[in-house]
Amino acid sequence: DGSTETHGPVRVQVGLSERFVLSAPSPNPVRRQATVRVASREGESVRVVLYDALGRRVRTLHAGSLPAGQVKTLRLGTGSLASGRYFLRLIGPDGTARTRPLSVLR
């Protein structure tokens, strides 16, 4: 019949199925800067730390609370890092951890 209806805005809230999320870094391998996304389902305090292949802490990217259910994007400049394999690790308050590999190229 050709009639149309208009409705107001629709809100969609997507919940996290896991307690903590640490995305794969992008790009990977990386030359200058990588991004990684982190989230906490319950809005807890977390640390995101970069380790070298020998397990030494290189840098802390984030230390503090994450808003419940929201995704935070972290940027990692790699200009001062040597070529090689690194590991990004998200660590929750109870020691729960997620780890992702990162390769740096020069």
Per-residue model confidence as pLDDT tens digits over 52-72: 999 999 999 999 999 998 999
pLDDT of residue 14: 53
Residue 2 domain-assigned (yes or no)? no
- Given pLDDT bands bounded at 50, 70 and 90, which one contains residue 79? very high
Domain count along the chain: 1
Residue 10 domain-assigned (yes or no)? no
The CATH number of whichever domain residue 43 belongs to comes to 2.60.40.2550
SS3 content of the chain, % helix, strand, coil (to 5): 0, 50, 50
Max distance between CA atoms of the chain, in angstroms, equals 70
Higher pLDDT, 44 or 50: 50
Residue 55 domain-assigned (yes or no)? yes
Residue 12 domain-assigned (yes or no)? no
Residue 96: which domain range? 20-104
